[in-house]
Amino acid sequence: MSPKPILSAFRQALSEAWAGGAGALLPLGFFAGAAVLVPLGIGTEPGMLRAVGPGILWVSLALSSLVTLERIFQSDVEDGTLDLWLQAGAPVSAIAAAKTFAHWLTAGLPLALMSPVLALMFQAEASLSLLTGALIYGLGGLAFFFWGGVGAALSATVRRGGLLIALIALPLYVPTAIFGSMAMRGAAFGDTAPLLLAASTLFALAAAPFAMAAALRLAAD
């Protein structure tokens, strides 16, 4: 087995994401838009915004991962690329993982990098912990994208699969959302919460590709 097909899958996914019109800007816009709607809905009292800000960002991150995931495998089914990847001579799980990781790089990581800005808008103090926060959003986002990828692969042949992905992925997002928001609140839990978040992300990285592989074989069948 050679790693070449895996690298090629990664490259293709990256170029596809960048070529898809606005590239990383679209998920960013969605993320920011969803987050910014909240103060308009619940009011602008600074103390309250500071309290709910991290949670809002988690919800926005989860939502934007779901919205952008819909097409990653569906387009492969429609244009016949999936058939080629399944016959590329590399484990399908590795191909799926490479594609999902590329997708996270273009649609997930930018959100994490932008989180400090949004956190400031939610009245957070400017401090180094905003950067720690970005790291935590990045880590949690990775788990979101991998579990969401399972939903995306399972509904790759379903028209209007987006709603289905959300329903499938929602319960799988729970541990990440919980550990992630605990990690954000930091001090109360010491180091446990970030470690738990890292562990659950590792679990997603280890388990989800196999489910995606089985689902993609089904989508091609």
Site for other proteins, residues 174 to 203, rule: CB under 8 A: 174-175, 178-179, 182, 188, 196, 200, 203
Closest CA to 27 of 69, 73, 89, 84: 69
Pair 112, 141: CB distance under 8 Å? yes
207: contact with other proteins by CB under 8 A:
yes
Angle at 5 between CA 17 and CA 9, to 5 degrees: 10
Cβ distance to other proteins smaller for residue 31 or 85: 85
209: contact with other proteins by CB under 8 A:
no
Helices (H) and strands (E) in the chain, counts: 9, 0
Find tokens 């170029």 and name the residue. 15
Number of residues written out for the chain = 221
221: contact with other proteins by CB under 8 A:
yes
Pair 219, 82: CB distance under 8 Å? yes
Q: Quick one: which segment of 40-48, 64-72, 98-106, 153-161 binds other proteins (CB under 8 A)?
A: 153-161
20: contact with other proteins by CB under 8 A:
yes
Angle at 125 between CA 60 and CA 27, to 5 degrees: 20
Cβ distance to other proteins smaller for residue 114 or 165: 165
Residue of 161, 162, 194, 209 that binds other proteins (CB under 8 A): 161
28: contact with other proteins by CB under 8 A:
no
Reading the block at residue 200, the tokens are 């659950």
Site string for other proteins, 116-145 (x = CB under 8 A): ------------------------------
The Cα 50–Cα 44 span in angstroms is 10
Q: Quick one: which segment of 26-34, 35-43, 49-57, 148-156 binds other proteins (CB under 8 A)?
A: 148-156
Chain-centre distance of CA 121, in angstroms?
Answer: 22
Site string for other proteins, 72-111 (x = CB under 8 A): ---x--xxxx-xx-xxxx----------------------
Report the chain's terminal Cα–Cα distance, integer Å: 23
The Cα 151–Cα 147 span in angstroms is 7
Residues that bind other proteins (rule: CB under 8 A) add up to a total of 53
Residues near other proteins, by CB under 8 A: 2, 4-5, 7-9, 11-12, 15-16, 19-20, 75, 78-81, 83-84, 86-89, 150, 154-155, 157-158, 161, 164, 167-168, 170-172, 174-175, 178-179, 182, 188, 196, 200, 203, 207-208, 211, 214-215, 217-218, 220-221
